[in-house]
A and B are shown apart, each in its own frame.
Chain A
Amino acid sequence: MNNWRHSALAQGLIRCHDCGALWPLQQEHTHCPRCQAMLHARTPDSLKRTWALLLTATLLLLPANLLPIMRVTTLGQGEPSTIFGGVMQLAHHGLWGIAFVVLAASILIPVGKIIALCTLLLTIQRGWTTNMQQKMVMFRVVHWIGRWSMLDIFVVGILVALVQFGNLAYIDGQAGAIAFAGVVIFTMLAAGTLDTRLIWDRHLQENASGSEV
């Protein structure tokens, strides 16, 4: 089973990305007869696209964390609040659980995702072929968890909609929120364009060359 010959591509078959039907390799770059999606053996330019999206997300991390995502104005005094500031404020009030949820969703997950995807990309490019199962688990976690980072964006929306009491107190959104939403969207897209079959191709082909080819 851990052999390149058992892969669909090695047998001359390609799997439709959208509906999962198998077609002969000759039909690559035509439309899938079942669902009309374009057929490709592997996601086209998977590595380039993923690197580009990851780079964008990494650059956006700076403004996302340095710029305030909202401003709380009470009795005429405005106080800008960054993502980390919000976490500190929750921790300051002794709400450790919620503080940790926000810290995880807003800082740990985006940074962790970028590191994990970089590791997977380097795995493919450098041909690291160890711990395959662990890498797949890492990818699935990254893929599943990405959407949870949207948490802070929704919180800003809810707070801005609720706290509108004129001179007494109001909250308005700030530019950091745009950058942060960008980080979340670009890392989700990056996880989507990474074709995990590339990780296996290299691994299996090296196994094969070691034994026979």
Chain B
Amino acid sequence: MSTLAPDTRIACHECDLLLSRPEISGDQVVYCPRCGSRLISSHPNSVERSLALAIAGLILLLPANLFPVLSLEVLGRHQQQTIFSSAMALYEDSLPLVSLCILLFAILVPCTKFLLQAYLSLALHLRRRWPGLPLAMRALHHLDEWSMLEVYLISVLVSVVKLVDMAEVHPGLGLYSLGALILITALSSSQMDEDLFWHQIDDLSSPAEDAPSEGARHE
């Protein structure tokens, strides 16, 4: 379908100021002149970078979830902990809602985000019109603030400090993977040009009436 207004004008999502669309390229960001919010940002090879980061994230999710994050040693007895086991431990203490919070925010949402990002950027990279692209894009937009891996990492550090008096604490491979994963997450949210993604999805669904004015935004 062709869109009516979006190619010539944009509106600020925080103060509704109507602006003519600025032409940006390279690593440029447009801020709203009225309220200062971040309007659009462009990054070179945004699609390819997003794809690479999503694949790296999906790979790192495995060791981060499978290997122990911390292990504790008290009088020769060992106890290990993964992200999943910290959720399960609360489930066994009859706190299923709290357990669900950890399961969602530290495991399921980050996984879903990387899967959606990989699906979207692969489709756009190959220029294939795969089903559900707009839905995936919306889901990614809404899930953004509910991925809390970095909060989990700080929680691990706080736990270490609390336990250090009590017993010997050893960091596991999971902790290092978690650290790397957070770096990837931060990079992928800063490298993804949502505006460009929407335009390319638009182009895929209407190849015949491709708007010529958009030429400058293609890579």
Q: Which residues of A contact B (CB under 8 A)?
A: 1-2, 6-9, 11, 13, 15, 17-24, 33-37, 86, 90, 93, 95, 98, 101-102, 132-133, 136-137, 139-140, 143, 146-148, 150-165, 168-169, 172-175, 177-178, 181, 185, 188, 192, 196-197, 199-201
Q: Is the CB of B89 within 8 A of A157?
A: yes
Q: Is the CB of B162 within 8 A of A18?
A: no
Q: Is the CB of A101 within 8 A of B154?
A: yes
Which residue in chain A gives the minimum CB-CB distance to B198? Answer: A19
Q: Is the CB of A160 within 8 A of B93?
A: yes
A175 to B163, CA, bound (A): 22
What DSSP secondary structure best describes chain A's contact surface? Answer: helix
A13 to B156, CA, bound (A): 47
Does B33 sit within 8 A of A, measured CB to CB?
yes
Q: Kindly supply a per-residue 1/0 record for chain B positions 168-204, scoring 1 wherever the CB is within 8 Å of any chain A CB and 0 otherwise.
A: 0000000000000000000000000011001001100
A11 to B99, CA, bound (A): 48
A177 to B93, CA, bound (A): 11
A162 to chain B, nearest CB (A): 5
Q: Is the CB of B6 within 8 A of A136?
A: no
Show 20 residue pairs from A and B whose CB-CB distance is below 8 angstroms, ordered by the A residue.
A1-B33, A11-B18, A19-B138, A21-B198, A22-B6, A33-B1, A34-B201, A36-B135, A140-B37, A143-B145, A153-B101, A154-B156, A155-B158, A157-B155, A158-B156, A160-B93, A162-B80, A177-B90, A177-B98, A178-B97
Query: Would A20 and B6 be within 8 Å (CB), given that A159-B159, A162-B159, A188-B145 are in contact?
Result: yes
- Residues from chain A with a CB closer than 8 A to the CB of B10 are 20, 22
Q: Is the CB of A90 within 8 A of B102?
A: no
- Residues from chain B with a CB closer than 8 A to the CB of A9 are 16
Does B166 sit within 8 A of A, measured CB to CB?
yes
Shortest Cβ-Cβ A-B pairs, 10 listed: A154-B155, A157-B86, A8-B11, A161-B89, A22-B5, A161-B81, A160-B89, A173-B93, A161-B86, A8-B18
